[in-house]
């Protein structure tokens, strides 16, 4: 039996606003080992749009439905398989496809959501919280890590990072274009504006930096790395500038530990038990308020273009959720 679903998808690579469209497409009963998840909410993240542009075309099949995270309810299983799964609220992780009414995925990639976690917090519990938790647990454990710097300080993930770092007693300095746009500036021990230049000298005056989290890349990421103490650590996890770290960085600072962190790589190499344990950690942070994602707007799929504009132009206001 075939059914239909609505999906925001691209049939060619290019600028997201130009190639993404809302379509009605056919869907069928889930294959063995797979389930259908009726999506409740899926956020718009910068990382969702990168495959649409063609940056990863070697591993991106067309048509592509964006949306790496979101929350939904299992609505169908393969005939003869565990029907008690139907109705369970889950995070269908491990692949894109959140921006549609129904996502089909392997049942092993469905993460159960605790009842006390709200829909909005569940929808945003994957990309930023798990990335931040993994990076901090890996690199903010050595006793010599006393000061850390986080760039793009107004971003949602920066807010998670600074809370985790403060919980470990680490002094945290934020870099941001406009400090006034940071939702909770009081979390940082210091905030340095990068617009207009001169931020490097201001950061240098605040003393040695042991650890830096960079999601900008390019010249700013390299400059941040250059201010780390001898033997310091740069965790590079994003490309908001659209430019990679220059190869010269490795030549000029061979003393640094440079981790090119990619959540996708970690998620696809660990076993299910370890992945479930990691999400248990995230959900506990949600319960205690360490992870609190602000949501600025909930929009239907038909208004995805307005959502893209809000997510890009007013990202500091919070996440935009697409709610089928």
The pLDDT > 70 percentage for the chain reads 98
Q: Which residue has the higher pLDDT, 226 or 207?
A: 226
CATH class of the 128-264 domain in this structure: alpha beta
pLDDT band at 2 (very low <50, low <70, confident <90, very high): low
> What confidence tens digit (pLDDT) does each residue in 81-128 have?
999 999 999 999 999 999 999 999 999 999 999 999 999 999 999 999
Q: Bridge-partner residues for 23, per DSSP?
A: 7
Distances (CA, A) of 65 to 12, 89, 96, 262: 11, 21, 6, 20
Instruction: Provide the CATH topology of domain 2-125+293-322.
Output: Quinone Oxidoreductase; Chain A, domain 1 (3.90.180)
Chain mean pLDDT for the chain: 94
Answer yes or no: is pLDDT of 270 > 70. Answer: yes
Answer yes or no: is pLDDT of 3 > 90. Answer: no
**CA-closest candidate to residue 168, choices 197, 147, 153:** 147
Mean per-residue pLDDT for 301-323? 93
pLDDT the model gives residue 32: 97
Q: How many degrees, rounded to 5, is the angle at CA 40 between CA 38 and CA 42?
A: 110
pLDDT the model gives residue 300: 98
- Count of positions (residues) in the chain: 324
Q: Are 157 and 174 in contact (CB under 8 A)?
A: no
Mean per-residue pLDDT for 194-214? 94
Structural domain boundaries of the chain?
2-125+293-322, 128-264
pLDDT band at 11 (very low <50, low <70, confident <90, very high): very high
DSSP, collapsed to helix, strand or coil, labels residue 215 as coil
* d(C-alpha 211, C-alpha 140), whole Å: 8
- Nearby residues of 40 by Cβ (< 8 Å), 6 or more positions away: 70, 71, 72, 73, 89, 119, 123, 323, 324
Q: What is the pTM of this model?
A: 0.92
* d(C-alpha 278, C-alpha 63), whole Å: 31
pLDDT band at 195 (very low <50, low <70, confident <90, very high): confident
Mean per-residue pLDDT for 208-227? 96
């Amino acid at each position: 039996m075939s059914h239909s679903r609505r999906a925001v998808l691209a049939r060619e690579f290019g600028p997201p606003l130009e190639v993404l469209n809302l379509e009605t497409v056919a869907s069928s009963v889930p294959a063995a080992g797979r389930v259908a998840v009726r999506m409740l909410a899926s956020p718009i993240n910068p990382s969702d749009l990168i495959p649409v542009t063609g940056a990863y075309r070697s591993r991106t099949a067309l048509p592509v439905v964006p949306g790496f995270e979101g929350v939904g309810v299992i609505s169908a299983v393969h005939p003869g398989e565990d029907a008690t799964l139907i109705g369970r609220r889950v995070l269908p992780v491990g692949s894109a496809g959140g921006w549609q009414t129904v996502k089909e995925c392997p049942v092993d990639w469905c993460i159960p959501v605790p009842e006390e976690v709200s829909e909005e917090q569940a929808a945003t519990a994957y990309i930023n919280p798990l990335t931040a938790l993994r990076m901090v647990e890996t690199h903010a454990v050595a006793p010599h890590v006393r000061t850390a710097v986080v760039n793009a300080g107004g971003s949602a993930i920066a807010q998670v990072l600074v809370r985790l770092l403060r919980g470990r007693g680490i002094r945290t300095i934020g870099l941001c274009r406009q400090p006034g746009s940071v939702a909770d500036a009081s979390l940082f021990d210091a905030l340095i504006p990068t617009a207009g230049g001169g931020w490097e000298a201001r950061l240098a005056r605040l003393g040695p930096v042991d650890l830096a989290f960079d999601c900008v890349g390019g010249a700013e990421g390299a400059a941040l790395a250059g201010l780390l103490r001898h033997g310091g650590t740069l965790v590079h996890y994003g490309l908001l500038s659209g430019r990679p770290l220059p190869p010269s960085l490795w030549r000029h600072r061979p003393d640094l530990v440079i981790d090119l962190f990619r959540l996708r790589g970690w998620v696809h190499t660990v076993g299910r038990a370890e992945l479930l344990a990691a999400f248990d950690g995230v959900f506990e942070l949600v319960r205690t308020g360490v992870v609190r994602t602000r949501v600025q707007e909930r929009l239907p799929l038909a208004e995805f273009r307005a959502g893209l504009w809000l997510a890009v132009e007013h990202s500091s206001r919070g996440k935009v959720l697409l709610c089928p």
